[in-house]
């Protein structure tokens, strides 16, 4: 009971802190346009490649289970002039086949470096201590944009004995900081574009309209045109000055709008309630029965020098505790502060609060989206 009481207290403190943080200032803060939107053409590109990691201490792929690793080793050695090894039997466990992935940032120039992630493809136990051999990284169009190579860094580790093993983290996934060199650029003459479209991360009619108004007010009338809830097109008056205009637009601040939402993580018991959440007038209660079953074992023994047997007699005690039902009335159109205060007044745990919010939504009294993740 003490543990449950401490859990309820911590939950109330967390909700109270959330309320104070949200209610202490404006309902929605002014944010920069660059923080809620992306710009057309200014994005990362996915790269992928297949390669080999060598130098492992017996933790690589077993060639009998990973034939593609053996073929890759044969092909690599042939290119290095070792000769045809297709008829030779290999038994090395110091090599692993891997997939190499990376993100090519926008406007990356030839010769710049990017980070790569190396993931085991076969049955290797660990990539710790390995070195990635030259691996071309291609884009969606099949062209090579970067080449990766270098010693890898593994966060996890694995230790194994005859009867026991310990694995910490994921030792079959590693990173190479600045492990790939950009060899091909993605051409984008940004300053020569006639217009640029701003894409909102969370499309909304009100937010897109406010972005258009802010741009036209700061840059000049007719600069921005709202195309739809998720897109605003910018056409600068002066040709060839798109970079300067976009640098000004990035720093403009607006108040984004959005749908009222309650997000619940049922696994961890986390509840996040938006500031615009409202409910209709409802009466909420939380009660239930607690059944306690206790088994006591008693031993019945015969009198000394008498005929009889020792018998074990179980004694069962069943108790039923009914908690008093407590109703809390939440008046109509309450604010976030009133809503949380009303739920806290009942003395609920996180799981019970989730059930209450689901019941209010089912009753049609929650004026918000309820999202369970």
The full 3-state SS of 116-165, as one line of letters, equals EEEEECCCCCCCCCCEEEEEEEECCCCCEEEEEEEECEECCEEEECCCCE
Task: Report which of residues 52 and 305 the model is more confident about.
Answer: 52
Strand, coil or helix: what is 338?
helix
Lowest mean pLDDT among 35-44, 212-221, 245-254, 323-332: 323-332
Task: Report which of residues 45 and 70 the model is more confident about.
Answer: 45
Structure tokens, 267: 């696994």
Tell me the CA end-to-end span of the chain in Å, nearest whole number: 29
Residue 169: which region, alpha, beta or left (left: phi > 0; alpha: psi -120 to 50)?
Answer: left
With CA atoms as reference, report the closest residue to 276 among 204, 347, 210: 204
Q: Fold for 31-41+189-254, please state it.
A: Gyrase A; domain 2 (3.30.1360)
- For CA atoms 146, 149, 154, 157, give the dihedral sign: positive
Angle between helices 336-346 and 350-362 (to 10 degrees): 120
The span from the CA of 277 to the CA of 13, in Å, is 20
Lowest mean pLDDT among 94-98, 108-112, 157-161: 157-161
With CA atoms as reference, report the closest residue to 106 among 30, 173, 196, 176: 196
Q: Please answer whether residues 33 and 214 qualify as being in contact, where contact means their C-beta atoms are separated by less than 8 angstroms.
A: yes
Strand, coil or helix: what is 45?
strand
Report pLDDT for 20: 42
Task: Enumerate residues 6+ apart whose C-beta is below 8 A from 260.
Answer: 274, 276, 277, 278, 367, 368, 369
Strand, coil or helix: what is 87?
coil
pLDDT at 86 over 70: no
Distance of CA 335 to the CA centre of its chain: 29
Burial of 364 (0-12, 13-18, 19+ CB in 10 A): exposed
* Percent of the chain clearing pLDDT 70 (strictly above): 69
Report pLDDT for 182: 95
Report pLDDT for 43: 84
> Where in the chain are the domains?
2-26+261-372, 31-41+189-254, 45-160+170-182
The span from the CA of 355 to the CA of 350, in Å, is 9
Q: Please answer whether residues 176 and 116 qualify as being in contact, where contact means their C-beta atoms are separated by less than 8 angstroms.
A: yes
Confidence class of residue 25 from pLDDT cuts 50, 70 and 90?
very low
Highest mean pLDDT among 16-25, 198-207, 231-240, 349-358: 198-207
Structure tokens, 275: 């500031």
| Rg, the chain, Cα only | 32
Mean pLDDT over the full length of the chain: 78
Owner of token pair 């939504």: 361
The span from the CA of 29 to the CA of 254, in Å, is 8
Distance of CA 308 to the CA centre of its chain: 69
- pTM beyond 0.85: the answer is no
Task: Report which of residues 257 and 363 the model is more confident about.
Answer: 257
Task: Report which of residues 294 and 182 the model is more confident about.
Answer: 182
Report pLDDT for 243: 81
Q: Please answer whether residues 152 and 186 qualify as being in contact, where contact means their C-beta atoms are separated by less than 8 angstroms.
A: no
For residue 371, the tally of other CB atoms under 10 A from its CB is 11
Report pLDDT for 278: 79
Structure tokens, 331: 């008046």
Buried/exposed code over 286-310 (b: 16+ C-beta within 10 A; e: otherwise)? beeeeeeeeeeeeeeeeeeeeeeee
Lowest mean pLDDT among 3-17, 67-81, 173-187, 341-355: 3-17
Mean pLDDT of 191-200: 84
């Amino acid at each position: 009971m003490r543990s449950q009481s401490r859990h309820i207290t911590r939950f109330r403190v967390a909700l109270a802190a959330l309320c104070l943080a949200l209610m202490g200032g404006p309902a929605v803060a002014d944010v920069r346009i660059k923080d809620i939107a992306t710009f057309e053409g200014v994005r990362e590109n996915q790269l992928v490649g297949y390669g080999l990691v060598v130098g492992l201490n017996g933790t690589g792929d077993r060639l009998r289970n990973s034939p593609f690793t053996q073929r890759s080793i044969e092909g690599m050695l042939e290119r290095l002039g070792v000769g045809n090894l297709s008829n030779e039997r290999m038994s090395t466990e110091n090599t692993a086949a891997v997939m190499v992935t990376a993100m090519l940032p926008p406007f990356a120039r030839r010769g710049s470096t990017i980070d790569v992630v190396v993931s085991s493809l076969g049955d290797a136990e660990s990539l710790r201590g390995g070195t990635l051999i030259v691996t071309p990284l291609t884009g969606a169009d099949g062209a090579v944009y970067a080449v990766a190579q270098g010693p890898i860094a593994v966060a996890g580790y694995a230790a194994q004995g005859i009867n026991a093993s310990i694995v910490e983290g994921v030792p079959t996934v590693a990173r190479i900081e600045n492990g790939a060199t950009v060899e091909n650029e993605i051409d984008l003459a940004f300053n020569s574009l006639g217009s640029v479209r701003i894409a909102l991360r969370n499309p909304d009619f009100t937010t897109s309209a406010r972005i258009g108004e802010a741009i036209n007010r700061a840059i000049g009338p007719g600069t921005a045109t709202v195309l739809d809830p998720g897109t605003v097109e910018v056409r600068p008056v002066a040709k060839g000055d798109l970079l300067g205009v976009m640098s000004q637009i990035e720093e403009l601040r607006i108040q984004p709008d959005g749908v009222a939402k309650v997000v619940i993580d049922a696994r961890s018991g986390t509840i996040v309630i938006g500031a615009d959440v409202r409910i209709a007038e409802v009466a909420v209660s939380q009660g239930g029965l607690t059944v306690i079953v206790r088994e006591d074992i008693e031993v019945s023994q015969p009198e000394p020098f008498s005929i009889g047997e020792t018998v074990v007699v179980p004694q069962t005690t069943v108790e039923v505790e009914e908690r008093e039902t407590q109703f809390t009335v939440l008046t109509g159109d309450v604010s976030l502060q009133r809503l949380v205060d009303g739920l806290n007044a009942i003395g609920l745990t996180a799981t019970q609060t989730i059930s209450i919010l689901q019941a209010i939504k089912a009753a049609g009294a929650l004026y918000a989206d309820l999202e369970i993740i």
